[in-house]
A and B are shown apart, each in its own frame.
Chain A
Amino acid sequence: MDLKTGDAFVEGSGDPAVRVIEIKKSVFADNDIDADNLRSELKEKGVFLLNLMSAPGSGKTTTLIRTIDILRQKIGVAVMEADIDSDVDARKIKEATGVQSIQLHTGGMCHLDAGMTRQGLDNVDLDGISLVVLENVGNLVCPAEFDTGAVRNAMILSVPEGDDKPLKYPLMFTVCDVVVINKVDVMPYFDFDLERCKEYIRMRNPRAKVFPVCAKTGEGIEAFARWILDEVDNWNKR
């Protein structure tokens, strides 16, 4: 019975062989459970997973190389590079830092979910590793929707992208614990207002920490690396 029109059986095919099964379930529910399970497994193994996201060309790989140079002197680090195709990033990381680095291909998909992350981790030798960095697909929309099972989410915003990006991609900034602002050396050329950008980030996520860096010169990388080390430490104490 339709309550608005009073007509009986307005919806449906009228075919008596058809029956309706109510589901009422978010399509993300299973992935969320899977991600929580993955976090528990990582906790048991003493491994911290950092999900690093950004738009293409923000300097994710270069920032990562600079940061790993500091991190690897203190802890065992491995990297999983996710891209739609090619293995240029994984090779670049391995050549530049010497740490274990594997390439994941998403087969055309714009993001990783917990299941794909788990498959990737199965191919990482976790012996002596306390930090795995997942370099997600370069994209500010889809990776924000899917929980990968990471302990913390970080994103890189580069200066040429503009200081108003937090307003345009709100979900990405809402899910991130850390925003790294890269390429601060070219700030004067792009009318990028750091304080305004921080204010926009705070509007979307008051808890997010902000680290201005320049991956090219190494400026600010130390502070970002220290935050990661503290987080890895806390994860193992929790």
Chain B
Amino acid sequence: MHELGIVFYIIRDVKKVAEENHVDKVSAVVMDIGEVSTVVPDYLQDCWKWATDKEPVMKGCALRCNIIPAVTVCNSCGCEYPTVEHGRTCPRCGSPETVLLRGNEVEIKEIEVKDQL
């Protein structure tokens, strides 16, 4: 359950950006979450409401997660393959010399803010 710690990190970063941009209401946070990042989006959502309700600038703020598919490249034969399906062993040549290309992201992509009219 490191998701709660990660939610606290997101809140800290978002509050900083909100302050720098003189924003008083953040209506949504969009995250890029890699398929093999070990972060479970459902667990993030579970902690989200509880934690953001305590922050006036983020009260009622939505959390949207884009899932980034994990892709691994084989250093022996050069093929790229889906990580979740085949793991660390290349499905084409059987080599264990493989490197994760993407799918490990836990990034804040953007936030949506409401300006007071």
Contact = CB atoms under 8 A, between A and B. Distances in A.
3 pairs of A and B residues whose beta carbons are closest in the complex: A142-B2, A27-B9, A23-B108
Interface in B37-68: 38
A25 B13 contact: yes
Contacts of A170: 88
Given A142-B2, A145-B2, A203-B96, A22 B109 contact: yes
A22 B110 contact: yes
Interface of B: 1-2, 4-6, 9-10, 12-14, 17, 21, 23, 27, 38, 88, 96, 105-115, 117
A8 interface: no
A13 interface: yes
Given A110-B5, A141-B2, A23 B111 contact: yes
A19 interface: yes
A31 B2 CA distance: 14
Interface string A93-111: 0000000000000001111
A45 B6 CA distance: 30
Interface of A: 12-13, 15, 17-28, 30-31, 108-111, 113, 141-142, 145-146, 170-171, 203
Most buried by B among A17, A23, A110: A23
Q: For B5, B14, B21, B108, which residue has the most chain A Cβ atoms within 10 angstroms?
A: B5
B2 A30 contact: no
Nearest to A107: B4
Contacts of A146: 2, 5
13 contacts: A12-B112, A18-B113, A19-B113, A21-B21, A22-B110, A23-B14, A27-B10, A27-B108, A28-B9, A30-B13, A31-B9, A142-B2, A171-B38
Contacts of B9: 27-28, 30-31
B109 A23 contact: yes
A21 B2 contact: no
Contacts of B107: 24-27
Contacts of B117: 17
Contacts of A12: 112
A12 B88 CA distance: 37
A25 to B, nearest CB: 5
B1 A110 contact: yes
Given A18-B27, A21-B113, A145 B108 contact: no
Given A25-B13, A27-B10, A19 B115 contact: yes
Given A21-B112, A141-B2, 4 more contacts: A20-B111, A20-B113, A21-B21, A113-B5
A28 B96 contact: no
B67 to A, nearest CB: 16
A140 to B, nearest CB: 11
Given A110-B1, A142-B5, A146-B5, A26 B105 contact: yes
B17 A110 contact: no
Contacts of B1: 110, 142
B106 A21 contact: no
B71 to A, nearest CB: 17
Nearest to A21: B111
Contacts of A23: 13-14, 17, 108-111
A155 B21 CA distance: 43
